[in-house]
Amino acid sequence: HVDEYPSVNEDFFRRCIPVIVCNSSSKYRTFNGTCNNLKTPSWGASETPHLRLLNADYSDGIYQFRQQSNGTPLPKARKINTELFLHNQWHDYDEFNLLLMQWGQFIAHDIALLRPDNSVENCCAAQKLLAIPPQCQEVINVPIDDPLYTKYKKSCISFNRAVTSANFSCPLIPATFMVEVSQYIDGSQVYGSSDVMAAGLRSFINGKLRSDTFLSNQKTYIEEFCPQVNRKTLQCETSTNSRVCFQAVL
């Protein structure tokens, strides 16, 4: 029954947070952000929920996306994207350059990163199932007049919703999404937000971070990259595209 589950953000910290023991004399901060606040050691730690300023507003009170006031679904993301940006309908502000976006993304990845629930690999294929998995219920539907994807006969872009506290044996209601990184400006997108991740990114030689080197496409020089998830090739093992899969979360 729904009433037997917690229904506010703070319930995670009252009922689900693991016991944290702090060393008040420690010289360095922890990678996962615990114990930065000795009175409330879980504040800002990785693998804890995003705390909301306002109550959740799911259409079913639990997990389903918010709807319009008339009860119909909100416009789809791809439709809004094409309507706003298809004809380059944006303002060019001379006081900003590309660094604004890059720095903004750098800081955003330092303090907030939601992990997608990839327990279902292809959410578009899952739309044909009699019971669509919850994490696959909001795929990106491509409009029939889409200026790009219709050329490739693509009608669906797979999208997995983020993991919730239920993935951590803490089934909060309404759904509470977990932050994968420490929620402080502490360079976690470079150094990691757990002891395991940090160790995997370090060379333990003269304080340097690890890197991978590969022969350039022209085979004329050596290129240096952040360490790869898949150590054998530049491709992600679970990816079908050509993106390089880095261990760091930049």
Extract the tokens encoding 17. Answer: 């947070």
| CA atoms of 80 and 69, how far apart (whole Å) | 18
Residue 108: count other Cβ atoms within 10 Å of its Cβ: 11
Instruction: Write the CA distances from 16 to 11, 166, 170, integer angstroms.
Output: 7, 10, 6
| CA atoms of 105 and 220, how far apart (whole Å) | 33
| CA atoms of 228 and 230, how far apart (whole Å) | 5
Give the DSSP letter of residue 237.
T
- For every residue of 154-177, which 3-state class applies, written as one string? CCEECCCCECEHHHHCCCCCCCCE
Give ∠ CA 123-183-20 in degrees, rounded to 5.
105
Q: Is 109 a catalytic residue?
A: yes
Give the DSSP letter of residue 14.
I
Strands (E), the chain: 48-49, 140-141, 156-157, 178-179, 212-215, 222-225
**Candidates 1, 87, 91, 109; catalytic one:** 109
Kindly list the catalytic residues. 109
